[in-house]
């Protein structure tokens, strides 16, 4: 029976690349994001192994409903990739925009907590795996960066989740890439990490034997 991977932020970039690669590896993939059109298009490309669920992951009720639909459709959830996140247009503290901080913190931090909270009972049943997108910015101190601070939280949270899940045979991994060529940036970054590179790291973590728990994968572009 195929295993099932739930992905947030699945409509483009790292999330979409991970969905495609996971499906190629034989996983069912549940695709969560706000953009229904993009999700439907991606699910159409993947086929019957994909389930598109338009969802606002910062809304706990919306998220819980989507996760329940995934478990019902595929008979359970074996892994979750909490990938949804965003940055801000005005970096720094003094000249930053508190409204942007508010929205970013809700997506980068609270949505990850909501996802873990709602998914954990399902992952317990399968001794599953929780994967989350961190960042090089969550390992370095960056001048005035609130975004970096959200990723520091995620790196700490991932290890805490790993210790909790370890009690019942589950695992957790933070994927920490440097610059990735996604819509996060206004211009193409062809010499930097590509979404497929990060997707490969996610699958590597998920497909480790039961005796191995990869807690962090740190990726940097060669250029």
79: CATH? 3.40.50.720
Total domains, the chain: 1
| Residue 165: other Cβ atoms inside 10 A | 21
Nearest C-alpha neighbor of 22 from the set 198, 176, 170: 198
| Residue 54: other Cβ atoms inside 10 A | 17
**Known catalytic residue: 114?**
no
pTM of the prediction?
A: 0.96
For 81-106, the three-class secondary structure string (H helix, E strand, C coil) is: EECCCCCCCCCCCCCCCHHHHHHHHH
Structure tokens at 200: 């490969």
pLDDT of residue 177: 98
Which residue range(s) make up the domain with 21? 4-219
pLDDT of residue 158: 98
CA trace torsion 99, 101, 102, 108 (10° rounding): 150
pLDDT of residue 15: 98
3-state SS class at 187: coil
pLDDT of residue 93: 96
The answer to whether 139 and 155 have CB atoms below 8 angstroms apart is: yes
DSSP code, position 9? S
Spell out the residues 6+ positions from residue 101 whose beta carbon is closer than 8 angstroms to its own: 88, 146
pLDDT of residue 154: 98
Distance CA 20, CA 4 (A): 13
Terminal Cα-to-Cα distance of the chain (whole angstroms): 41
Distance CA 92, CA 159 (A): 27
Burial class (CB in 10 A: 0-12, 13-18, 19+), 191: exposed
pLDDT of residue 14: 97
pLDDT averaged over consecutive 10-residue blocks of the chain (223 residues)?
96 97 98 96 97 98 97 98 95 95 98 98 98 97 97 98 98 97 77 95 97 97 88
Nearest C-alpha neighbor of 162 from the set 136, 129, 138: 129
> Per the residue annotation, which of 9, 147, 162, 172 is the catalytic one?
147
3-state SS class at 137: helix
DSSP code, position 201? H
């Amino acid at each position: 029976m195929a295993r099932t991977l739930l992905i947030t932020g699945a409509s483009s970039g790292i999330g979409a690349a991970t969905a495609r690669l996971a499906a190629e590896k034989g996983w069912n993939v549940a695709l969560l994001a706000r953009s229904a059109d993009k999700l439907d298009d991606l699910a159409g490309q993947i086929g019957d192994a994909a389930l598109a669920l338009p969802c606002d992951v910062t809304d706990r009720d919306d998220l819980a409903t989507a996760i329940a639909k995934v478990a019902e459709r595929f008979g359970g959830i074996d892994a979750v990739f909490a990938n949804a996140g965003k940055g801000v247009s005005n970096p720094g503290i003094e000249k930053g925009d508190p409204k942007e901080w508010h929205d970013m913190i809700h997506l980068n931090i609270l949505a990850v907590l909501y996802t873990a909270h709602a998914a954990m009972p399902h992952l317990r049943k399968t001794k599953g795996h929780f994967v989350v997108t961190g960042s090089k910015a969550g390992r370095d101190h960056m001048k005035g960066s609130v975004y970096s601070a959200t990723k520091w939280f995620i790196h700490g949270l991932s290890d805490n989740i790993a210790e909790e899940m370890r009690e019942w045979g589950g695992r957790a991994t933070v994927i920490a890439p440097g610059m990735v060529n996604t819509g996060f940036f206004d211009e193409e970054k062809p010499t930097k990490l590509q979404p497929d590179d990060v997707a490969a790291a996610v699958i590597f973590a998920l497909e480790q034997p039961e005796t191995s728990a990869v807690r962090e994968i740190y990726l940097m572009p060669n250029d």
